Chain A
Amino acid sequence: MQKVAIVGASLAGLAAARALRGQSFTGEIIAIGAERHHPYDRPPLSKDFLTGACTVDDLALSDDEDLGIDWRLGTAATRLDPRRRSIHLADGQEIQVDGVIVATGARARRPAHADGLAGVHTLRTLDDALTLRDELRTTGRLVVIGAGFIGAEVASSARSLGWDVTVVEGLPTPLAGPLGPEMGALCAQLHADHGVRLKTGTPVSALLGSDRIEAVELADGVRLPADLVVAGIGAIPNVEWLDGSGLTVDGGVVTDAAGATGLPTVVATGDCAVSFSPFAGRAVRSEHWTHALDHPATAVATLLGATAPDTGKAPYFWSDQYGVRLQFAGHREPGDTVRIVEGDPEQRSFLAVYERGGHPVAVLGMNQPRLFTRWRRQLRAVPQEA
């Protein structure tokens, strides 16, 4: 293998480039990125970057390390042609390569009926964050649609800047998917602690306004006046460019645990991939920073024909909101029991352990980094029945 293309120049793409060099690949690396920016860190976009506590320079993911990469930024890949072993770019170029690492991540889902209405935002990219940060320079009424992690973080950041914030969530309990209803409800109390209104169980039915957003209408008829709307309603994998490539796409590029696709010269990793997870016991699309950091090394080993290292580490993510540090590791399924083993939710500091058949399968920490890390390292995938 002489020439490898990495498609998607963000965390997973950069981690793949570092892994290629780390695994002694001396050939050519071409990194194709739709954004004009060099790889940068997304998590601060909803947190310190919005409040102004960190700058564009702070977001850079690497300090001019020389990986010998041929960067092709600001141009998207439009097609993967496995027969000609080539990638077509939006600017008309066709690049022939021996191996491809698909790391095109995901994009923010747009709310329905938002077209043509100013003041309605989603947050995924640095450019999104720059626009939103500008809008947040004044103050007014913000309605956040979706009480997931990104929605909650944006609400927290805007609140600290003096905005009047309402969060609306269609589900009865925020974060019930990843954290379960009990812990989701506990975490959702943080909004009220900081004077942010949370309205659950009623979906948004319309966004009202002529040129600019004026109000958000809920299915029960309630109208929430809004000067600004941010929707945090999930992400869609960037995989349309793979149509016709022969790769299996089912809510993301389908791979095995090691990133292998149906084509021996193509691997996929990061937010765009649906990969078998020993912790979930099935293929999942992990949308966590540490997955996009660690998994590319495994995918690169697969591409280079080496045995992929398996760290056996449990999936892990964090969220920072209202000055509180949430950390979650492992995988929760409906039916798992959860109990608080340390601290006190009322004090906004506790550790909760999820169990299945008496085995710990996941752990949630609120402001408990030390204890959380201890539990996190104990987590092992529950052996699956064959």
Chain B
Amino acid sequence: MLQPVCPLSSIAPGEAYRWETDPPVAIFHTEDGEVFAIDDTCTHQDASLADGWLEGCEVECPLHASKFDLRTGRVDGPPAKKPVRTHRVEVTDGMVHVALSEGAQS
């Protein structure tokens, strides 16, 4: 089910928004204008990935530098070992909508 989250204009390109749902979701607006949603909490410890370093379609965890692919949720290397969940995003009429994925958080 798609849920409205925030206007796209509220997330500048290269920035992220932390959506306080349970568990929280990070919404990224890339420099190329794409929008992605992934679980906000790093799978290593309790960092918020919305605080991380966005480069292209990858976010680097703000604490210990594991990088997650925004398209697949895959992690590139230690210390995190598990992927994050990705969520489907649609932008309609300037509003970001997210459909939360089913299934357990890793």
Query: Chain A residues in contact with chain B, CB under 8 A?
Result: 11, 14-15, 18, 41, 43, 60-63, 289-290, 293-294, 316, 318, 325, 327, 369-370, 372-373, 376-377
- A62 / chain B contacts, CB cutoff of 8 Å: 78, 81
Jot down 16 A-B pairs with beta carbons below 8 A, ordered by A.
Answer: A18-B77, A41-B79, A43-B64, A60-B81, A61-B79, A62-B81, A63-B81, A290-B65, A293-B65, A294-B65, A318-B63, A369-B47, A369-B63, A370-B51, A370-B62, A372-B62
A30 to chain B, nearest CB (A): 21
Q: B52 and A318: CB pair below 8 A?
A: no
Q: Which residues of B contact A11 (CB under 8 A)?
A: 78
Given known A18-B77, A41-B79, A62-B78, contact A376–B53 (CB-CB < 8 A) = yes
User: Which residue of A15, A316, A377 has the most chain B CB atoms within 10 A of its CB atom?
Assistant: A377
Tally of A-B Cβ pairs under 8 angstroms: 42
Residues of B within 8 A of A316 (CB): 65
* Secondary structure class of chain B's binding surface, majority of residues: loop
Residues of B in contact, count (CB < 8 Å): 14
With beta carbons under 8 angstroms apart, the residue of B53, B64, B78, B79 that contacts A373 is: B53
Please list the residues of chain B having a beta carbon within 8 angstroms of any beta carbon in chain A: 47-48, 50-53, 62-65, 77-79, 81
4 A-B pairs closest in CB distance: A370-B51, A369-B62, A373-B62, A61-B78
Is B77 a contact partner of A293 (Cβ separation < 8 A)? yes
Question: A63 CA to B83 CA in the complex, in Å?
Answer: 12
- How distant is B103 from chain A, measured CB to nearest CB, in Å? 19
Across-interface contacts of A289 in B (CB, < 8 A): 64
Chain A residues with CB under 8 Å of B50's CB are 370
Quick one: closest A residue to B76, CB to CB?
A: A18
Q: Point out the residues of chain B lying under 8 angstroms from A290, CB to CB.
A: 64-65
Question: Looking across the interface, which residue of chain B has its beta carbon closest to that of A370?
Answer: B51
Asked if B63 and A370 make an inter-chain contact with CB atoms under 8 angstroms apart, the answer reads: no
**Contact, CB under 8 Å: A369 / B48:** yes
Give chain B residues whose Cβ lies under 8 Å from the Cβ of A373: 51-53, 62
Task: Give the shortest distance, in Å, between B59 (CB) and chain A (any CB).
Answer: 10
Q: Which residue of A lies closest to B55 (CB)?
A: A377
A369 touching B51, Cβ below 8 Å: yes
- A-side contacts of B53, CB under 8 Å: 373, 376-377
Shortest CB–CB separation between residue A65 and chain B, in angstroms? 10
For A293, list chain B residues within 8 Å (CB).
65, 77-78
- Report the minimal beta-carbon distance from B62 to chain A, rounded to whole angstroms: 4
Cα of A297 to Cα of B42 in the assembled complex, Å: 24
Q: Write the chain A residue with the least CB distance to B81.
A: A63
Closest to A325 in B: B63
A18 to B76, CA, bound (A): 11
